[in-house]
Amino acid sequence: MQQSSSSAKAAVTVIGLGPMGRAMAAAYLDAGYEVTVWNRSPGKDADLVGRGARRARSAAEAVAAGPLAVLSLIDVEAMYPVLADADLDGRVLANLSSDVPDKARKAAEWAAARGASYLTGGVNVPPAGIGQEGSSIFVSGPQRAYAEHRETLDVLAATDYRGEDPGYAQLYYQLNMIMFWTAYTGWYQAVAVARANGLTAADILPYAGYTADSLRGFYTHSAAALDADDHAGRAQRLSMCAASVEHILHTAADSGVDTGILAAHAELYRRGVDAGFGGESSSRLVQLLGNPVQG
């Protein structure tokens, strides 16, 4: 994304060398950074060391190599044993590992108690997107630490700062993942039904693309109404949507494929109709999802 503006090589540490961590370390090498790497299991750093990265003998040594340590681990919990022996005083930890907001907040408290500043990151691209234009990372935590290291973090992807709350980067990230995984699993469901009826994924791909593109319009149209709590059934009614969901449920059942995902959707829409919302917009379902017991 960006080359460091400093005439001297800027130093950065990358801890955790799975596919994402290796992509991050490689992006820093490409940008001319002095990169220190460490991974719990050996061997994953060979190509990076061959390109000039420095292999630390321990995580503690890796943290000591520079002011910023970028963490790419399986989750936040993995950080604690990894950094147990490290001197964190005065360091900045940018934990770009996926996890839940509350764990990010607890990790920030843990780091602060050891003298470190803690930034949380939610990476919105796969490893192949690191260092590429159009990629982004949610970041939250101390504004001063973010401002100090923004240029370095922007090497990985354009950072979208979400404020001081260390949980917010993970919250925004997980909100995106809710939309991503439900939609992507819907693609698998559609392929299963297609196969059961003699079609292939390639056969339905053009229509999947159209549907995916149309979602932006649905989100945009409903956002203002949702924030205004306006659920008038002007463009569509929940009862009509419920009937459509029943049709896809029965199409899947008639095709002999698993209907668990679609049955859960159908049950939600039935609950909305049973609650008396049939004449309103399907956006009223947010009330049931937000308060499922009383809904």
CATH 1.10.1040.10 residue window(s) in the chain: 172-290
Residues of the chain with pLDDT under 50: 2-7, 295
pLDDT value of residue 42: 86
Cα–Cα separations (whole angstroms), residue 196 to 34, 202, 209: 54, 14, 21
pLDDT at residue 291, as a whole number: 76
The residue among 165, 132, 163 whose CA lies nearest residue 24 is 132
What was the pLDDT predicted at 3? 46
Please tell me what DSSP assigns to residue 280: B
Whether 114 and 108 have beta carbons less than 8 Å apart is answered as no
Fold of 172-290: N-(1-d-carboxylethyl)-l-norvaline Dehydrogenase; domain 2 (1.10.1040)
pLDDT (tens digit per residue) in 49-87: 999 999 999 999 999 999 999 999 999 999 999 999 999
- Beta carbons of 67 and 12 less than 8 angstroms apart: no
**Euclidean distance between CA atoms 104 and 168, whole angstroms:** 9
Q: How many residues does the chain have?
A: 295
- Residue 2, pLDDT score: 46
Identify the pLDDT of residue 293.
Answer: 55
> Tell me, which fold does domain 11-167 have in CATH?
Rossmann fold (3.40.50)
Start-end of CATH 3.40.50.720 domains in the chain:
11-167
Pairing state of beta strands 92-95 and 54-55? unpaired
Q: Strand, coil or helix: what is 132? A: coil
